Structure 1
C-alpha cells in the first residue's frame, strides 16, 4: 500500500519483548487486531520487525527469531492491516541491539570514558547496548531490510535510535586517526560521527528505494537543531515527544516542530497513551489529556502518532483503544479542515546560541530560543524556528538568540533582511564583534560596554508603555536573575528603561538574607534600545523567561513588540494558557479559501510531580480572538459541527467570540 500522503491517525506499536517471555503472540487474532484499530479510527500503525532486544518477529534467516514466537507475527499483522486499509511501516531498531552486541562485541561502541556503551554488569539501570553503524553491523541491517522487502509488501521503514555517537573503541580510534581526526578534539570527533551517520543514511535510503520505491523512510532520533543534515534521507519528519515522561515535557513538541515544519516535508507528532514513559504497562492517560496532546500536534501542522506497547501475547488492550478512539474520532471529523492547511508564521527564531543540555536522540534548542517560543505562543505570535541557512525574507520579525555567533554569511543575510524592511530582536552578546564593543549587525543600536557588575541586575521599566491589562509598573525594580549587559545607545536610537545593579553579588563573603542583595543604584544604562526596526535587549529576557518563568519579562517584550510587529496576524483576548494557532487552507472545488483558527486550553492541575498533567478539562468562557482578514468573511463557524460563531469586523480584523471552550475548538473563517 502507498503510505503517502501521510495519514493523520497513527499508532506506534512498541514491541520490545524480553527473551524471558516465552508466550509471544499466543493470543494474537488477526481479525480482532485489525478490527480493534478500525474501531479506534486508526489508519496507520508502525509494527515491529526487530526490537531493542535484538529479536525478530518474523521467520528471519538474517536475524534471530524471538525464542517465544512460533509463527510469522509480522506477516500476519501486515496481511490483516492491509485488508483493513491500514498502512503499516515496519520498525527496525538500529543503534540499540542487545543480541547483536552479545554476538558481535566488536560492533559495540565504547564511550569516551572507556566504558562500553551498555548497561553495567549486574545493573538494573535503564539502557541498551549501542552499536556502531560503520562496522559490519551496517551490512547486517542492510541484509535484514533486503529480506523484509522481499518477504512482504512494504509500506515504509521506521528506523529507530539513529542519533550520531562517537566510538572510542580501539577500532573506532584507529578509524578516526586514519581520517585525520584528532581524538582530543571533541568538536572534530562529533563531526566525524555525524558524517559517518550521514553516509549510513545515504546508503540505507538508497537501498530501501531500490527495493520499495514508494516506501516511507524515517530515522528517529534525528530531530535536533541540525536536522537539515538528514532531511534529504527521509520522506517526512517525526517529532517524538511524550510530554508526561520527564524527558520531553509539554513545550518540547511546540518548540521542535516549529523548526521541523520549515523544511517542506510533512511532519508527524508522536505522543503516547502512557502515564509516563515508553513501556509503561498499566499507565493510561485520560480522554481530556490525550485530546489536548493530539490538538497541540495538529494545531502545529502535524499528523498524529500515539505510542502504545503491545502485550507479549499479542492482544491489543481494549481500554487503550477506546481512549485512542475518543481522540481519533474527533480528529477524523476535522480532517477536511486539516488536509493541505498550512500553519502561518510571521516571526522566526533562529536556532542558534549555546545549548545547555544535549541528550542522545532528544532534540533541544538554546534557552533563548525555547523561551522566545514559549513567550510567543502565550502572546499569540505566530512563529517558526529556523536554522541559519533558511530563507528569512518571508518573516516580518526575526529573533537572534543571546550568545549566537554570527559569521560573515549570516551577518550579511541579517543586514540584507533589515535593509529590506524586516524587524530584528537580538539579546546579550549575540552578534558581538571580535573587538568586544561593536556588533556585526549594521543597524545595531548600541555599543557594548561590559557585563553588568552584579547578579541579579534590576529592571526599572521607565518609558515602556505596558499593554492594556498588564501589571508592569514603572516604579518597581524587577529582578533579572541572570547576567545582564551594560550598553550605550548609539545616536538616533531610542532607549527604554533603566538597568540597575544590586549592592553586590551573593558570594561566600558577601551575602544578604535568604537570596540576593536588593537594588542599589542605576548603571546609567538602558534595558532595551531600538533604532528603526532593530531592538536590542540588554537583559536576555527570552532565556530568562525559559529559566525563571517570570511574567515581568514577557510583559516587557509584549510592550516593546508593537513597534516591531504591528498589525499582527492575531490578537487573543485570552490567558496565556490558551494556545491560538492560525492555518491557511487554499480554495478547492468544494470550498472557498479558509483561515482556520485552532484554540487549545492548557488546564494543568496542581501536583507534587515534576511534570503537570492536563487530565481534567473544564469549560472556559468569554474568549475572543482578533484575526487579520484582508476580505470580509462569507461565514465564520465551528468545525466540524458547522455551528455559526458570532463575529464583528473592524478594518482588516475579524473578532471572533467563543461562547465556551473545553480543551479544543476549531474556528473556520471562510471566504
Structure 2
C-alpha cells in the first residue's frame, strides 16, 4: 500500500464515520483511567515497517474500546527506532511511516498518543558509541547500558523525543529500561565525583567492601540526576508534555518522588499477576502522583519470537480490579506486529468488555483512597541491605502482602516517608521480615505503640531487632529448619520449611500456635509460633519464622489463621470484616464523603504455574460484611449496579448481606 493510498483510506474512513472526529475529550494522564500499550522492540531484522498496517482494524478497536490514551513503540531495548528517525538508528526499511499512521488514527478519535522508548538500555546506540557506555568494575565497557553522566541523553534520548514531538505531535513518553536497568557505573566522571564527595581514596569494587552501600547510594543519586535532566529538558521544550520512567518510585525504587515526572507506571508480566498487580499497586498508591499499572495481555512463551498465550477477559478483569480498588488507572499491553502494525488477532470483543468493566467502576475508583487499617512497612534500609544492585529488585514482602489479602485484610504498603507522615493513622503496623531500619523511624514506632498503637513484627531476623520488647526469651540463633506449626485452637497443623527463631514466652505474654515435630496435638513443643505482649498503652506481637517465601510456594490456610488470630487480638474491631468466603480480597476505601468496600473474587488458577489461561472463576458465596462506622449511613448500595441493600446498624457497626461476588463488586456507604 502506498503512502498516498493509506492517507486516502484514512480520509474515506473518517468521512464514512464522521462521529469519530473529536469523539472524546483529550485527557492529561492525571485525568486518564484506562488505556492500551503496544510495542515490539524493533531490531535490525525488521523490514518493510508499516507494510501491513490496516487502519480499519485499529479504528474499529479504538471505536469499541474508547481508551483514554494509546502507547506505541518508538525505540525498544535493541535500540532500533520503529519510525524513520534522522537522529538515531533504525533498520532503515520503511514501506510506510507506522508512527504517522498511528498518530493519524488516534488523532481522529482525539486520543493522546504516547511512545514507548527504552532509556538507559539501548544495545545499538551504546555499542555504536562506546563513550556513552556504563563502565563495569573491571574497567570494561557495558555496551548495552548508558552511563548516567555520559552524553547519551543529550545526544540521543532528548533529541529523539523532540523529533517525535515535532514530527508526530506525540503527547507523552513512557520511558522503559530505565531504573530497573541500572547498575553501578564506574565511568571516570562518576568515580571521581564519588571520591571527591566521600573523601575516600578508592572506589568500592564489590559487596565485600564496607563502603559499597555508599557507592550504591551515590549511583542512585546519579541516576536521579540523569532522570531529572531529561525530564526537565523535555518539559522545557514542550510544556505540558507527559513523561514517566517505567517503575520509577515503585517497589523497585522505594523512595519519595523528587523528580518532576508527570505520572508513575509499571508493567506486570508473567503469571500470578492478580497478586503481583495487588502488590505493585500498593507500592505506587501513596506516592502522590497520578499512576497506573499495565498488565500484559498475554503470558510470554518466547517474547522476542512473539510466541504467547493470551490471557482471558476474566484474568484481566481480576488484575484490573486489584489496581482500580486502590485508586489506580489500568492499561493492557499487546505486542505490535514486526512491521509496527496493529495485530488483528487481539480479541476486540473481550477488550470492549474489559473497557466496559473498568468504566462502570471508574466513578467509584478513580482518585479514591484507602482508609488506614494495616500498614506493611517497606523499609528503605532493609531494601538497601538485601538489594545488591542500584535499583530494580522488588521485595520478598510480596508473599506477606498476599497472605494478608487472602485473610480478607485491607492492607497498605508504606515506604519510609509514608510511615514518617502517616504512622499514627494505622491501628496496626507490620514489619514484614526486614532486619534493618531507619533508627529514627524505629524509635518512633516504639513511641507509637506506647501511645496505643499495635506493632506486628514478622520474621526470624526481624524479631531479633525487637528482642527487648517482645516478652520472650530467645533460644539459640535463628536457623533454617523444617517442622509443623498450628494448634488445636487453630483447627490444624501444617508443615513448613523456613527460617525460625526459637523463643520461650515470659510471664504475662500470650501465645498463638505451637511448633510441632510430630503431627499430633499431644506433642507440642514449648516454642510458640507467635506471641503478644503489652507495651505501654499498645501491644507488640512477634511471629518468629519467615512466612513470605513459604506462602508463595506452599500456602496453607493455617498460615492465614495464625496471622488473623494475631490481628484480631491486636485490633478486635477492624474497619471492615468479611464473613462467608476465603477467596475474597477486600479494600476499605473512601471517595469524597462515602466509604467504599471493594470486594474482589480471587478465585482461579493464576497461582498455578502450569496454567497460562483460565476463563471461569466460581462466584463467591453470599457474604456478610461488617463495617465500622461512627454514624448511621443514609444508604448502602451495591456498585456498579446501584442496587440498594438492606442493612443493620448497631453499636457503630453496619451489617449488610451481599450477594455472591462474580469478579468485583463495590459496597458504597453513603452518608
Common topology (TM > 0.5): yes
Q: Tell me how far apart the structure 1 counterparts of residues 260 and 463 of structure 2 sit (CA, whole Å).
A: 33
* RMSD of aligned alpha carbons: 3.4
* Inter-CA distance 115–604: structure 2 relative to 1 (3 Å threshold): farther
Task: Look up the match of 2:255.
Answer: 228
Counterpart in 2 of 1:481? 497
Where do residues 318-333 of structure 1 align in structure 2 (5 Å cutoff)?
319-333=346-360
Report the Cα offset of residue 414 of structure 1: 0.8
2:93 equivalent among 58, 65, 68: 68
Q: Residue 530 of structure 1 aligns with which residue? A: 533
SS in 2 for 1:77: helix
Distance 2:558 2:608 in 1: 25
| 1:430 alignment partner in structure 2 | 462
Residue matched to 2:330: 304
Q: Is the 8 A contact 1:298 1:338 kept in 2?
A: yes
Q: Measure, in 1, the Cα distance between the counterparts of 2:364 and 2:35.
A: 18
Q: Identify if the C-alpha distance between structure 1 residues 210 and 557 changes in structure 2 by more than 3 Å, giving closer, same or farther.
A: same
Cα deviation for residue 584 of structure 1 reads 0.9
Contact 2:324 / 2:366 at 8 angstroms: preserved in 1?
Answer: no
Per the alignment, do residues 416 and 356 of structure 1 end up closer, same or farther by CA in structure 2, a change over 3 Å counting? closer
Deviates further, 211-220 or 610-619: 610-619
Partner of residue 420, structure 1: 451
User: SS of the residue aligned with 1:456?
Assistant: strand
> Which structure shows the bigger proportion of residues in strand conformation?
2
In 2 relative to 1, CA 360–70 (structure 1 residues): closer, same or farther, beyond 3 Å?
farther
Is the 8 Å Cα contact of residues 49 and 98 (structure 2) preserved in structure 1? no
C-alpha displacement of 1:656: 3.0
Q: By how many angstroms is 1:161 displaced? A: 0.5
Aligned-partner SS, 1:33: helix
Provide the C-alpha distance between the structure 1 equivalents of 2:475 and 2:434, rounded to a whole number of angstroms.
Answer: 16
Q: CA deviation at 1:84?
A: 0.8
User: In structure 2, do the counterparts of structure 1 residues 627 and 524 end up closer, same or farther at CA, with 3 Å as the change threshold?
Assistant: closer
* CA deviation string 1:209-244 (max 9, x = no partner): 212222222111433354315553422222321242
Aligned: 1:386 with 2:444: no
| Mapping for residues 351-430 of structure 1, pairs under 5 Å | 351-352=378-379, 353=382, 363-366=393-396, 369-390=397-418, 391=421, 392-427=423-458, 428-430=460-462
Match of 1:292 in 2: 318
| Runs of 5+ consecutive residues of structure 2 not aligned to the other structure | 1-25
Distance 1:130 1:519, change over 3 A: farther
**2:231 is equivalent to residue 205 of structure 1:** yes
Relative to structure 1, is the Cα distance of residues 605 and 381 closer, same or farther in structure 2, using a 3 angstrom cutoff? Answer: closer
Per-residue CA distance 1:100-158 (angstroms, 9 max, x = gap): 1332234344555788657xxxxxxxxxx333343222222122233333334342221
**Which shifted more, 349-358 or 405-414?**
349-358
2-side partners of 1:113 and 1:611: how far apart? Answer: 43
Cα contact 1:177–1:183 (8 A) shared by 2: no
C-alpha distance in 2 between matches for 1:109 and 1:267 = 30
**How far is the alpha carbon of 1:14 from its aligned partner?**
0.8
In structure 1, the residue matched to 2:33 is: 8
Aligned-pair distance for 1:304?
A: 0.5
1:269 equivalent among 276, 290, 293: 293
Which runs of structure 2 are paired with 1:233-248 in the superposition (5 Å)? 233-244=260-271
Q: Secondary structure at the match of 1:661?
A: coil
* Contact 1:41–1:329 (Cα < 8 Å) also in 2: no
Spell out, residue by residue over 1:410-461, the C-alpha distance to the aligned partner (whole angstroms, 9 max, x if none).
Answer: 222112211232110113332646xxx954xxx4433434326882355464
Contact 1:3 1:215 in 2 (8 A): no
Give yes or no for contact 1:241–1:270 (8 Å, CA) kept in 2: yes
Q: How much does 1:298 deviate?
A: 1.0
Query: Does 1:190 find its partner at 2:227?
Result: no
Aligned partners of 1:198 and 1:230 also within 8 Å:
no
Who is 1:664 aligned against?
664
Q: 1:608 to 1:448 in 2, by over 3 A?
A: closer
Partner of 2:562: 556
Counterpart in 1 of 2:184? 166
The 1:606–1:172 alpha-carbon spacing in structure 2 relative to 1, beyond 3 Å, is: closer
In structure 1, distance between residues paired with 2:353 and 2:307: 20
1:96-245 matches, cutoff 5 A: 96-109=121-134, 111=136, 117=142, 129-140=144-155, 141-163=157-179, 164-167=182-185, 180=200, 181-184=203-206, 185=209, 186-222=212-248, 223-224=250-251, 226-228=253-255, 230=257, 232-244=259-271
Residues 393 and 648 (structure 1 numbering): CA distance in 2 closer, same or farther, change over 3 Å? same
Partner of 2:619: 619
Q: Given the superposition, is the C-alpha separation of residues 607 and 165 from structure 1 closer, same or farther in structure 2, using an over 3 Å criterion? A: closer
Corresponding position: 1:652 with 2:652: yes
Query: Residue 626 of structure 2 aligns to a residue in which SS?
Result: strand
Alpha-carbon distance in structure 2 between the residues aligned to 1:495 and 1:267? 42
**Which stretch of the first structure deviates more once superposed, 521-530 or 346-355?**
521-530
Of 519-528 and 39-48, deviating more is 519-528
Match of 2:117 in 1: 92
Deviation at 1:399, TM superposition (A): 0.8
Contact map agreement 1:2 1:87 (CA 8 A) in 2: yes
Change (3 A) 1:68 1:229: farther
Q: Does the 8 Å CA contact 2:158/2:230 hold for their aligned counterparts?
A: yes
Whole-Å separation in 2 of the counterparts to 1:225 and 1:96 = 16
1:351 positional shift? 1.2
- State the shift of 1:301 in Å: 2.0
Offset from partner CA, 1:447-478 (integer Å, 9 cap, x none): 4343268823554647xx55xxxx24xxx6x5
Work out the CA distance in 1 between the residues paired with 2:268 and 2:479.
40
Distance in 2 between residues matched to 1:224 and 1:384, nearest whole Å: 13
2: CA distance between counterparts of 1:408 and 1:521?
37
Structure 1: unaligned runs, 5 residues or longer = 119-128, 504-515, 587-592
Q: Cα 1:544–1:15, aligned 2, differ >3 Å: closer, same or farther?
A: closer
CA offsets 1:35-68 (integer angstroms, 9 cap, x no match) = 4213123221112332223222444321134422
| Structure 1 contact 50–92 (Cα < 8 Å) conserved | yes
Q: Is the 8 A contact 2:34 2:330 kept in 1?
A: yes
Q: Are the counterparts in 2 of residues 447 and 487 from structure 1 also a CA contact under 8 Å?
A: yes
Please tell me whether the aligned partners of residues 252 and 364 of structure 1 are also in contact (alpha carbons under 8 angstroms).
no
1:357, distance to aligned residue in structure 2 (A): 7.6
Q: 1:525 to 1:227 in 2, by over 3 A?
A: closer
2: CA distance between counterparts of 1:70 and 1:134? 37
**Greater helix share, 1 or 2?**
2
Match of 2:10 in 1: none
Following the alignment from structure 2 to structure 1, what is the Cα–Cα distance between the partners of residues 522 and 126? 59
Q: How many residues align?
A: 621
Aligned ranges 1:444-463 → 2 under 5 Å: 444-451=470-477, 455-459=481-485, 461=487
